[in-house]
Amino acid sequence: DGGITQSPKYLFRKEGQNVTLSCEQNLNHDAMYWYRQDPGQGLRLIYYSQIVNDFQKGDIAEGYSVSREKKESFPLTVTSAQKNPTAFYLCATRNKGNTGELFFGEGSRLTVL
Amino acid sequence: AQSVTQLGSHVSVSEGALVLLRCNYSSSVPPYLFWYVQYPNQGLQLLLKYTTGATLVKGINGFEAEFKKSETSFHLTKPSAHMSDAAEYFCAVSGAGNQFYFGTGTSLTVIP
């Protein structure tokens, strides 16, 4: 089946630990995105990538890092520098052009204890 | 610059009643507009989108939205609410570049 796979679905970590969230897609889409979702705040863009080996910061990139070594994969690392990492994280993809919609994965819920 | 405002963070309707969720946008270029639905602990699913052409757009699950340029609005409607419509709804705009801008969401409650 074509789609976007995020893993893990739920993740618990202690404060000060780095965490990597996986996002894999087989839609052959060029652009990939990471969003953070907090109650009442909608979706906020962390990073996005329009092509392999290139990515740009979004509105809330501090404390996060990404890589785009393959077209299919766009992992997000939540570092210990992120002050409030507990949130729901969503990965999305988009095909070329401005008119296409975003396709979303099922999300990963990170809880830092 | 582009932005989206969703009026009303919570909306309650009775089952069978009209659903109206409001969205206003700001865009310096011709906008592409989207409505998404999100169920708890899931990703977002596209309901409908407006890019060009007919301003009344029909989507899945009986939803539709009308693009009104003069009012900079893209309100989402459904004639008769169903219990399964209870969810979070997001309006989004995309234009120049490859970025999306989302509203803060409207939580829809359907009362039996």
A50 touches chain B (CB under 8 A): yes
A105 touches chain B (CB under 8 A): yes
Q: What pLDDT digit, counting tens, does each position of B51-99 carry? A: 888 889 999 999 999 999 999 999 999 999 999 999 999 999 987 666 7
Preceding omega of A8 cis (within 30 degrees of 0): yes
Q: Looking at beta carbons, which residues of chain A come within 8 Å of B23?
A: none
pLDDT for B51 = 87
Decide if A70 contacts A53 (C-beta within 8 A): no
Decide if pLDDT at A99 tops 90: no
A104 touches chain B (CB under 8 A): yes
CB spacing of A107 vs B103 below 8 angstroms: no
Count chain A–chain B contacts defined by CB atoms under 8 A: 57
pLDDT for A92 = 96
Count of C-beta atoms within a 10 Å radius of residue B69:
10
Q: Which residue out of A9, A46, A90, A101 would a mutagenesis test of the B interface target, given it has the greatest number of B Cβ atoms within 10 Å?
A: A101
**What CA–CA distances, in Å, run from B50 to B1, B64, B91, B100?**
19, 10, 11, 14
Q: Nearest-CA distance from A42 to chain B in Å?
A: 4
pLDDT for B15 = 97
Residues A23, A28, A31: CA angle, nearest 5 degrees: 65
Nearest to B99 among A45, A88, A106 (CB): A45
Count of C-beta atoms within a 10 Å radius of residue B82:
13
pLDDT for A98 = 62
Which residue in B23, B43, B32, B30 sits closest to B100, CA to CA? B32
DSSP-based helix, strand, coil % in chain B, nearest 5: 5, 55, 40
Label residue B83 exposed, middle or buried (CB < 10 Å: 0-12, 13-18, 19+). Answer: exposed
A49 pLDDT tier (thresholds 50, 70, 90): very high
A77 touches chain B (CB under 8 A): no
